Amino acid sequence: MEKQNITLAIPKDILRKAKIIAVQEGTSVSGLLTRILKELVSREEGYQTAHRNHLTNLEKGIDLGTEGMARWTREELHEQ
């Protein structure tokens, strides 16, 4: 995977805590941020895929086997 350097401005207290977390996880701050960003991108891509699928299903409709006709009356549905 090709990499690109970027410059970030992070509050010092957050960076200090991130360095501690990175050491605890056996990685660097760069590695830590890369993992978190991958998770974020993956979650967003999953959401977008699910959203597109949902819209497609809404447009197509779902065959309930009734051929678009209700085969029951309102009274039948509300019988106790």
Residue 22 in any domain: the answer is yes
Question: Under DSSP, is residue 19 helix (H, G, I), strand (E, B) or coil?
Answer: helix
For residue 76, what are the CA distances in angstroms to 60, 67, 69? 29, 19, 15
Residue 24 in any domain: the answer is yes
Residue 38 in any domain: the answer is yes
Distance CA 77, CA 80 (A): 9
Number of independent structural domains in the chain: 1
Tokens 């447009």 appear where? 59
pTM score of the predicted model: 0.69
Question: Under DSSP, is residue 39 helix (H, G, I), strand (E, B) or coil?
Answer: helix
pLDDT tens sequence for the chain (80 residues): 899 999 999 999 999 999 999 999 999 999 999 999 999 999 999 999 999 999 999 998 888 888 778 888 888 888 86
- Parent domain of 50: 12-61
